[in-house]
């Protein structure tokens, strides 16, 4: 395995440098924002590539390319861009002759953009999502942009075909957004995707032309009710090393948490208005396939503290209540800190955020041998380096025990 780290100009998409990094950790989450870190050695040979101009915080981007090298020919057998984002901070050390880089994923950028005005009546949720995101991709013009770009580099042209298919969710919604609310776009996108039954989204770094380092871009994926493959037979790991003989990956560590402390089976949300005119909506488990009260559970109620006067339609308020209800159910049992090898099957480039993973846990931790199936909601990749193999830490949510 060989990892390379490419740095580009955010606005123009120009390749600035390809630099070595060590102690790298790259995190990503489904339908949200994450971060990464790495350290660039400031040896003389590295300084010839001008790492200082290539890593300016907020202005420069990072693309982590994982390449598989054929040991016989020493040629590149496969290449994947597994992480991309923006440099936000750098710290230089004189004694260590190194520069630490703190990075954020592409989704994080939209926490630094504010909503404009938007009025949507019975519009598909995916159409609303794309419209909000598209507006947030616009950039003021700069004199050095090539003709026709006007500040919209390939990196921020997220909705440009074929990087964003025009699929629809089939779910209509009402939304009103006002620029005067001064609300970050990322918060709007997360709330929209979590409302009602919810849907998944991810921003995926890609190289549009394989091998051409000037064609980095970001693809928007939207999936209703979810993204990813459902329980594929090739994505499975076990805590028992003996299972490796039957094509299971090996789990060296994991944590199982069953936490009902924040789970309610009736959620009430409020929106705009006061007194009897205030918009109010309640969602309970009886409106889902999981009717807990009839199944013997006591009533657990909660109010949605995130409801605000910005929620101006009943659809918005009810969607938030139902979204919180379902999110609570999905998060009650989670597997986290699942440590696996990224260079052994199933390899890290064979699965993506949103896919279902199958995890077999021995009786020492589960009481009896138990197989968990759940959606991959987050992962952290630690690329290989001397003394360290390629390691991936996985988070799985909404697990079930078949």
Predicted confidence (pLDDT) per residue in 152-181, tens digit: 344 443 444 446 668 899 999 899 999 999
How many Cβ atoms from other residues are within 10 Å of residue 91's Cβ? 10
Whether residue 225 has a cis bond before it, omega within 30° of 0: yes
Whether residue 346 has a cis bond before it, omega within 30° of 0: yes
Q: Cα separation of 34 and 292, whole Å?
A: 34
Lowest-confidence segment of 1-5, 39-43, 91-95 by average pLDDT: 91-95
Global pTM value: 0.83
Q: Cα separation of 126 and 231, whole Å?
A: 25
Tell me whether residue 114 is exposed, middle or buried, using C-beta atoms within 10 angstroms of its C-beta: 0 to 12, 13 to 18, 19 or more: middle
Q: Cα separation of 214 and 192, whole Å?
A: 33
| pLDDT (0 to 100) of residue 244 | 74
3-state secondary structure (DSSP) of residue 136:
helix
> Which residues are CB-neighbours of 387 under 8 A, at least 6 positions away?
none
Nearest 10 degrees: CA dihedral of 391, 395, 396, 397?
A: 180
Work out whether strand 98-105 and strand 76-93 pair parallel, antiparallel, or are unpaired: antiparallel
Among 330, 336, 350, residue whose Cα is nearest residue 290 = 330
Q: What CATH number should be reported for the domain whose range is 2-108?
A: 2.40.10
Task: Work out the pLDDT band at 264, boundaries 50, 70, 90.
Answer: very high
Asked whether 269 and 303 are in contact (CB, 8 A), the reply is yes
Asked whether 7 and 16 are in contact (CB, 8 A), the reply is yes
Domain boundaries, the chain: 2-108, 111-201+208-223, 236-259+332-400, 266-329
CA distance to 255, 301, 398, per residue, from 325 (Å): 24, 10, 13
% of the chain with per-residue pLDDT over 70: 90
| pLDDT (0 to 100) of residue 161 | 45
For residue 102, give both structure tokens: 């703190």
Predicted confidence (pLDDT) per residue in 229-247, tens digit: 998 999 999 998 888 777 8
């Amino acid at each position: 395995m060989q990892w390379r780290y490419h740095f580009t100009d955010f606005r123009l998409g120009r390749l600035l440098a390809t630099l070595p990094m060590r102690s790298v950790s790259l995190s990503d989450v489904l339908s949200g924002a994450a971060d990464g870190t790495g350290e660039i050695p400031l040896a003389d040979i590295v300084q010839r590539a001008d790492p200082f101009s290539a890593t300016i915080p907020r202005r420069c981007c990072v693309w982590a390319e994982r390449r598989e090298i054929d040991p016989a020919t020493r040629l590149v057998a496969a290449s994947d861009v597994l992480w991309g984002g923006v440099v936000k901070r750098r710290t230089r050390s004189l004694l260590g002759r190194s520069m630490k880089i703190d990075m954020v994923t592409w989704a994080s950028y939209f926490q630094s953009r504010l909503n404009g005005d938007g009025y949507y009546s019975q519009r598909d949720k995916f159409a609303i999502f794309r419209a909000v995101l598209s507006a947030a991709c616009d950039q003021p013009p700069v004199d050095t942009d090539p003709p026709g770009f006007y500040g919209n580099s390939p990196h921020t042209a997220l909705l440009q075909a074929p990087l964003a298919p025009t699929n629809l969710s089939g779910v209509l919604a009402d939304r009103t957004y006002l620029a005067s609310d001064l609300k970050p776009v990322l918060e709007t996108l997360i709330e929209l995707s979590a409302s009602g039954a919810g849907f998944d989204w991810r921003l995926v770094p890609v190289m549009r032309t394989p091998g051409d380092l000037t064609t980095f871009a970001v693809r928007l994926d939207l999936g209703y009710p979810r993204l990813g493959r459902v329980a594929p037979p090739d994505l499975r790991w076990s805590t028992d090393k003996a299972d490796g003989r039957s094509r299971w990956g090996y789990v060296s560590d994991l944590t199982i948490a069953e936490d009902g402390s924040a789970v309610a089976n009736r959620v009430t949300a409020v929106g705009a208005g006061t007194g009897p005119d205030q918009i109010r909506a309640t969602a309970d488990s009886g409106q889902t396939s999981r009717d807990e009260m009839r199944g013997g559970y006591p009533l657990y109620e909660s109010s949605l503290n995130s409801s605000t006067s910005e929620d101006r339609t009943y659809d918005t308020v009810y969607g938030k209540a139902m979204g919180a209800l379902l999110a609570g159910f999905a998060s009650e049992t989670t597997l986290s800190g699942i440590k696996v090898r990224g260079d052994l099957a199933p390899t890290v480039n064979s699965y993506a955020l949103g896919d279902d993973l199958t995890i077999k846990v021995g009786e020492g931790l589960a009481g009896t041998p138990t197989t968990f199936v759940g959606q991959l909601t987050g992962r952290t990749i630690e690329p290989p380096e001397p003394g360290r193999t390629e390691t991936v830490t996985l988070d799985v949510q909404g697990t079930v025990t078949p």
